[in-house]
């Protein structure tokens, strides 16, 4: 027997009317999409859509539906369920706040989007909207051109009349089809130049088709201000969550309203095994009294459903509940409030919802069902009641059930309700980092209350304990579709955040996808702190998420990271300026703490301590520890290079220690930005900095040489643990200047230092001879070679040394030197920072991966971005190996020259790894890269040295 009563009724009627061959629309829950699709065809049906691993949508002859339900791999069949609905406005006060023009929302000023627009950043990107639209209400002067057929998508597999032309009557009659037009106005207010693509979709399969349409049109930002009935356990799994994951896989960042269910729209009840005292009915009172009726105030109620905590159990172990609905036959006595329990003689049945959980239905009843009453009592013209009964044929397995009930329509009140976990609904509860659920700050300016989150704005946690919403944004906005009054609800907050993302994408602050989502989360402020709420802890919470969105000062229209003249290097005694480890005794910045994955730090550099204001770049050693996931870390000039466009450190496994040398241009506000996709702790040691200089100068220039090896202890003995240079016993090793390095006029050497054949984990430290700075250069483990670049000032005797904390071989290659005061005056070797960017990636550029022993020429000079002009003598890069076939190394050197007996990067198999390097270019502005074993090669450029 079919478990879904609606589908069962449809099939039974068709067969009874001798219409068994008539096709019936069904949704088939199955993890075996391909197998089920084949079975549909065999049974004479047609697949019309689906979400891989979750649902197959099909048209099947009525007489074959029962056969389909009995097939292996078919979990549950139901009639297609609508996954969005034309929303109603939540109950909230109206506020008309400040702004410019007649219909520009206050959000433009509150989020600082006004300043970005004034700076010429207007969001000239493609933005998608999933909603309901009456195009007759579309005002081109408020939302841009009316979307033509190339900018519209509509699919209605549930036959809801969603795509009918009659929806475009140009009358705001409250049917909800004005809602998408209001959303479009909000996006346009925030991003005036955005190109809008609009879509309406009925079922989950239709929504997936809309995602494909968006992606095919190059849309990388979508906003959806719609709710959906329950389709999963509230932990970020289920068919709609799978569609979010699919959208993310296609490069889309998805903004969604967090929901308006915190105000009388959600209730959770813990149900014990023994319901004998209540006749098998759920007791909503959870106290000494028994109250089996739950009151609903409103003439028509739309349910998101009643679900309970049996999603991880097979059908035979799921508790089976039935939902009974009633209306009063006389004026109910409401003086008793929530505890009022009218006698059966005063109630009339409105029917029941009774899917068969033992027959395969999920632990869910009443999803997307309407309940309408004829009585004229109570708020908004109606009163009804529901009861939830555990069937006598089933018993509770596991001790307790947690039952949740949520409503899907406004102007309805539950007799008892709660706020916490009201946001644990489909889409909103997604675990995908590219889904941003947006809560509402109402009034828009956050004034008038110490807690400015809207009383209706849904709150977490999700049922697996995660914080929701992700961010919050202004709501109750001036809008032509809701005038007088305002456009409120989380419906207005979501397009506000999407419009902010459009500005960030247009300004080149982040790449589409995870980096854009992380950047939106980053540009927030703590609303609790702003309200002076001493009782609420700072940081993420289930009211505001990580905070309320607000853009920083806009980046300059013309980046200033490439000065008209170059910069010279100023060496420092290495100093630690950041250490997020709680146990670390060093570093002035100790309040950031361990980063979650996709965490961002804007680190003040110039003018904040050891590096003076006006410096153009900083030489740092950056170390990742305690990474949460395998991924990468990117370090770029603040607001000058897109997050997600390059990498600085690659993390092959969680909890590893990975350092890397980098020259990082200093960006806006004297900051550099660290984007840690891997999460974990970050350590930053400053080795020196670059400062603007005259066009010709003696000291501080970088002179690149053909790489040369100056130390390799593998020809002697292992360096002993705790080895210290220059001890009289003869165990010291001095790294001498290479033959091509002069004996005078040199202040520092640029080295690539490698540890190999280590006996135990430890570190190497390259240092001026006679000193012992509290930093490290290379962190190594047993069984693999590890390398890192470093700029090391010469010691008093004109040499540099290497310290090792445990037994290891040490290999040192010299790639150039920094000039001193005694060097000739020259214009060569001045550093010019550029916006960090990717110059080469063999993973997507022919001829692809480098073979064993192959030499690949990589042209650096002549590309538009990163901009390295002809005549550059050397380059500052981050070199990465990926998808390595076996342990080996890369050697980078001037193109066309002889292959030197050196290495630039050492790698192991199948672990991406990077190393910063300062390398000499050929006369034509190119590098050759030699691969000892097959590997992909990636080159990111952050600056060049003048020739």
Q: Tell me the average pLDDT across 779-797.
A: 89
Tell me what pLDDT residue 716 has. 60
444-458, 568-582, 765-779, 933-947: range with lowest mean pLDDT:
444-458
Q: How far apart are CA 435 and CA 303, in angstroms?
A: 24
Range picked from 162-171, 248-257, 726-735, 787-796 for highest mean pLDDT: 248-257
250-254, 269-273, 398-402, 684-688: range with lowest mean pLDDT:
398-402
Residue where the block lists tokens 């409120």:
488
pLDDT at 565 over 70: no
Confidence of residue 723 (pLDDT cuts 50, 70, 90): very low
Confidence of residue 103 (pLDDT cuts 50, 70, 90): confident
Give the distance from CA 73 to its chain's centroid.
33
**Cβ–Cβ contacts within 10 Å for residue 870, how many?**
10
Instruction: Name the residue with higher pLDDT: 531 or 182.
Output: 182
In contact, 881 and 891? CB cutoff 8 Å: no
Q: Tell me the average pLDDT across 590-608.
A: 87
pLDDT at 535 over 50: no
Q: Tell me the average pLDDT across 312-338.
A: 78
Tell me what pLDDT residue 180 has. 96
Q: Tell me the average pLDDT across 227-240.
A: 96
| Distances 207 to 244, 492, 750, 894 between C-alpha atoms, Å | 10, 21, 55, 52
Tell me what pLDDT residue 52 has. 95
Confidence of residue 290 (pLDDT cuts 50, 70, 90): confident
Q: How far apart are CA 566 and CA 550, in angstroms?
A: 35
Tell me what pLDDT residue 557 has. 60
Tell me what pLDDT residue 545 has. 96
Burial 318-348 (b: 16+ CB within 10 A, else e): bbbbbbbbbbbeeebeeeeeeeeebeeeebe
Tell me what pLDDT residue 528 has. 77
Tell me what pLDDT residue 98 has. 29
Token pair belonging to 25 = 């629309």
Q: What is the 3-state secondary structure (H, E, C) of 178-223?
A: CHHHHHHHHHHHHCCCCEEEEEEECCHHHHHHHHHHHHHCCCCEEE
pLDDT at 378 over 70: no
Tell me what pLDDT residue 338 has. 52
Tell me what pLDDT residue 560 has. 44
Tell me what pLDDT residue 86 has. 76
pLDDT at 717 over 70: no
Tell me what pLDDT residue 375 has. 64
Q: How far apart are CA 730 and CA 927, in angstroms?
A: 39
Q: How far apart are CA 213 and CA 155, in angstroms?
A: 11
Confidence of residue 897 (pLDDT cuts 50, 70, 90): very high
Confidence of residue 584 (pLDDT cuts 50, 70, 90): low
Tell me what pLDDT residue 731 has. 30
Find the Cα–Cα–Cα–Cα dihedral 419, 424, 430, 431, rounded to 10°: 80
Tell me what pLDDT residue 542 has. 95
Percentage of the chain beyond pLDDT 90 is 63
Cβ neighbors of 742 (< 8 A, separation 6 or more) are: 823
Tell me what pLDDT residue 805 has. 85
Determine if the pTM surpasses 0.85. yes
327-336, 415-424, 600-609, 660-669: range with lowest mean pLDDT:
327-336
Q: How far apart are CA 650 and CA 912, in angstroms?
A: 6
Tell me what pLDDT residue 573 has. 85
Q: Tell me the average pLDDT across 237-251.
A: 97
| Distances 99 to 104, 374, 477, 502 between C-alpha atoms, Å | 6, 44, 10, 20
Instruction: Give 268-299 as a DSSP string.
Output: EEEE-S--GGGTTB--SS-SSS----EEEESS
Residue where the block lists tokens 């990742």:
624
According to DSSP, the residues that pair with 50 across neighbouring strands are 56
Tens of pLDDT along 57-92? 999 999 999 999 988 889 899 999 999 887 766 544
Least Cα distance to 666 among 591, 623, 609 occurs for 609
Task: Please confirm whether the linkage preceding 109 is cis (ω < 30° from 0).
Answer: no
| Distances 870 to 860, 861, 862, 867, 875 between C-alpha atoms, Å | 9, 6, 7, 10, 12
| Distances 306 to 233, 267, 361, 371, 856 between C-alpha atoms, Å | 11, 10, 13, 13, 62
pLDDT at 720 over 70: no
pLDDT at 237 over 90: yes
Least Cα distance to 211 among 178, 174, 248 occurs for 248
Q: Tell me the average pLDDT across 219-239.
A: 97
Confidence of residue 724 (pLDDT cuts 50, 70, 90): very low
pLDDT at 47 over 50: yes
Mean pLDDT across the chain: 88
pLDDT at 567 over 80: yes
Tell me what pLDDT residue 487 has. 93
Tens of pLDDT along 152-185? 999 999 998 889 888 888 888 878 899 999 999 9
Tell me what pLDDT residue 725 has. 40
Token pair belonging to 226 = 């719609």
Q: Tell me the average pLDDT across 715-739.
A: 50
Token pair belonging to 304 = 């998101």
pLDDT at 709 over 70: yes
pLDDT at 534 over 80: no
Tell me what pLDDT residue 72 has. 87
Tell me what pLDDT residue 393 has. 78
Tens of pLDDT along 476-505? 999 999 888 899 999 999 999 999 999 999
Tell me what pLDDT residue 865 has. 58
pLDDT at 250 over 90: yes
- State the number of CA atoms in the 13 A half-sphere of 551 facing the CB: 31
* Three-class secondary structure of residue 266 per DSSP: strand
Least Cα distance to 297 among 405, 386, 412, 410 occurs for 412
In contact, 234 and 406? CB cutoff 8 Å: no
Q: How far apart are CA 328 and CA 3, in angstroms?
A: 30
Q: Tell me the average pLDDT across 863-868.
A: 70
Confidence of residue 765 (pLDDT cuts 50, 70, 90): confident
């Amino acid at each position: 027997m079919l478990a879904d009563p609606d589908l069962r009724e449809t099939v039974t009627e068709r067969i009874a009317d001798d219409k068994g061959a008539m096709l019936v629309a069904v949704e088939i829950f199955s993890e075996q999409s391909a197998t089920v699709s084949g079975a549909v065809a065999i049974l004479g049906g047609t697949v019309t859509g689906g979400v891989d691993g979750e649902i197959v949508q099909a048209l099947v002859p009525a007489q074959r539906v029962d056969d389909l339900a009995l097939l292996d791999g078919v979990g549950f069949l139901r009639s297609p369920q609508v996954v969005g609905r034309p929303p109603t406005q939540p109950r909230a006060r109206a506020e008309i706040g400040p702004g410019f023009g007649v219909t520009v929302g206050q959000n433009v000023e509150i989020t600082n989007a006004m300043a970005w627009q004034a700076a010429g950043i207007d969001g000239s990107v493609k933005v998608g909207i999933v909603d309901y639209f009456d195009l007759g209400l579309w005002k081109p002067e408020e939302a841009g051109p009316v979307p033509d057929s190339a900018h519209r998508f509509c699919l209605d597999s549930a036959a809801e009349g969603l795509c009918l032309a009659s929806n475009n009557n140009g009358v705001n009659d409250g049917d909800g089809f004005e809602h998408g037009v209001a959303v479009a106005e909000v996006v346009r207010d925030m991003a005036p130049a955005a190109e809008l693509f609009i879509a309406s979709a009925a079922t989950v399969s239709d929504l997936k088709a809309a995602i494909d349409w968006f992606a095919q049109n190059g849309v990388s930002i979508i906003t959806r201000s719609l709710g959906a009935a329950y389709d999963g356990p509230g932990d970020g799994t289920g068919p709609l969550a799978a569609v979010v994951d699919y959208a993310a896989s296609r490069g889309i960042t998805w903004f969604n309203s967090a929901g308006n269910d915190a105000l009388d729209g959600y209730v959770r009840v813990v149900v014990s095994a023994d319901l004998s005292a209540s006749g098998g009915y759920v007791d909503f009172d959870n106290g000494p009294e028994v109250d089996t009726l739950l009151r609903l105030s409103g003439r028509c109620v739309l349910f998101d459903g009643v679900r309970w905590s049996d999603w991880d159990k097979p059908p035979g172990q799921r508790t089976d509940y039935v939902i009974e609905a009633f209306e009063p036959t006389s004026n109910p006595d409401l003086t008793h409030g929530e505890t009022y329990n009218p006698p059966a003689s005063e109630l009339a049945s409105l029917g029941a919802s009774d899917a068969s959980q033992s027959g395969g239905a999920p632990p869910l009843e009443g999803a997307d069902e309407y309940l309408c009453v004829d009585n004229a009592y109570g708020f908004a013209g109606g009163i009804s009641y529901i009861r939830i009964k555990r069937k006598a044929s089933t018993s509770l397995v596991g001790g307790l059930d947690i039952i949740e009930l949520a409503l899907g329509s406004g102007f309805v009140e539950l007799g008892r309700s709660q706020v916490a976990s009201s946001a644990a609904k489909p889409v909103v509860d997604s675990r995908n980092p590219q889904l941003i659920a947006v809560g509402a700050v109402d009034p828009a300016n956050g004034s008038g209350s110490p807690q400015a989150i809207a009383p209706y704005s849904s709150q977490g946690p999700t049922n697996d304990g995660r914080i929701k919403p992700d961010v919050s944004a202004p709501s109750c906005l001036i809008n032509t579709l809701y005038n007088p009054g305002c456009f409120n609800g989380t419906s207005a907050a979501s397009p506000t955040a999407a419009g902010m993302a459009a500005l960030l994408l247009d300004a080149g602050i982040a790449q589409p996808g995870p980096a854009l989502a992380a950047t939106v989360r980053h540009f927030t402020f703590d609303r609790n702190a702003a309200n002076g709420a001493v009782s609420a802890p700072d940081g993420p919470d289930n009211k505001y998420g990580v905070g309320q969105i607000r853009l920083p000062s806009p980046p300059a229209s013309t980046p200033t990271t490439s000065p008209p003249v170059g910069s010279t290097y100023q060496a420092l005694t290495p100093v630690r300026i950041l250490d997020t480890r709680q146990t670390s005794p060093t570093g002035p910045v100790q309040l950031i703490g361990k980063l979650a994955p996709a965490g961002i730090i804007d680190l003040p550099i110039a003018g904040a301590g050891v590096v003076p204001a006006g410096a153009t770049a900083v030489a740092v050693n950056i170390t990742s520890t305690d990474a949460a996931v395998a991924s990468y870390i990117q370090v770029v000039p603040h607001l000058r290079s897109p997050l997600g466009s390059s990498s600085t450190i690659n993390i092959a496994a969680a909890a590893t220690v990975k350092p890397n040398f980098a020259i990082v241009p200093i960006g806006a506000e004297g900051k550099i930005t660290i984007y840690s996709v891997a999460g974990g702790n970050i350590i930053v040691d400053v080795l020196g900095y670059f400062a603007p200089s005259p066009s010709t100068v003696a000291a501080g220039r970088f002179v690149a040489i053909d790489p040369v090896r100056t130390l390799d202890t593998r020809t002697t003995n292992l360096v002993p643990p705790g080895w210290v240079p220059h001890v009289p016993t003869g165990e010291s090793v001095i790294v001498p200047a290479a033959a091509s390095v002069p004996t005078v006029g040199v202040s520092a050497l640029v080295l690539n230092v490698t540890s190999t054949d280590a006996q135990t984990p430890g570190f190497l430290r390259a240092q001026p001879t006679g000193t012992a700075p509290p930093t490290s250069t290379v962190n190594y483990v047993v069984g693999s070679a590890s390398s890192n670049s470093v700029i090391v000032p010469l010691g008093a005797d004109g040499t540099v040394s290497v310290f090792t904390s445990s037994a290891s071989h040490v290999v040192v290659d010299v790639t150039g030197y920094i000039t001193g005061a005694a060097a000739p005056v020259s214009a060569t070797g001045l550093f010019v920072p550029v916006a960090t960017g990717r110059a080469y990636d063999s993973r997507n550029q022919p001829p692809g991966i480098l073979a064993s022993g192959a030499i690949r020429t990589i042209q650096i000079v002549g590309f538009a971005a990163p901009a390295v002009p002809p005549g550059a003598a050397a380059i500052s890069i981050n070199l990465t190996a990926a998808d390595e076939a076996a342990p080996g190394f890369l050697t980078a050197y001037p193109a066309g020259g002889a292959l030197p007996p050196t290495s630039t990067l050492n790698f192991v198999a199948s672990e991406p790894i990077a190393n910063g390097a300062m390398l000499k270019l050929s006369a034509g502005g190119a590098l050759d890269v030699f691969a000892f074993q097959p590997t992909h090669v990636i080159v990111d450029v952050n600056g060049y040295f003048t020739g």
